[in-house]
Amino acid sequence: MSSPNPEVKTSLRFEEKAAADTDNDGDVTLDELFPTRIDVRLYDPSGLDAPSYGAFMTSLARTVGHFRGEGECSISAL
């Protein structure tokens, strides 16, 4: 019998975020991620106002409290 939610295989990605380290100090900051346009071939930002990696990661962080419908959180943008 098949599962109603089959496992979706994915891969870990970091290269495009590491490339945003414009001052080459080894730390990738949101200040560096916000101007870096998101590659929609790798990430699907549908439903999120996320034209950049910084906006995408910030938007995703706001949804963590809703994992599997548990832990409702009310979070707003700064």
Residues 6+ apart with CB under 8 A from 16: 36, 39, 42, 53
pLDDT over threshold 50, residue 70? yes
What is the per-residue pLDDT across 50-67, written as a single tens digit (0 to 9) for each?
999 999 998 888 766 655
pTM (2 d.p.): 0.67
What share of the chain has pLDDT > 90, as a percent?
41
Q: How far apart are CA 18 and CA 40, in angstroms?
A: 17
| 58 or 74, greater pLDDT | 58
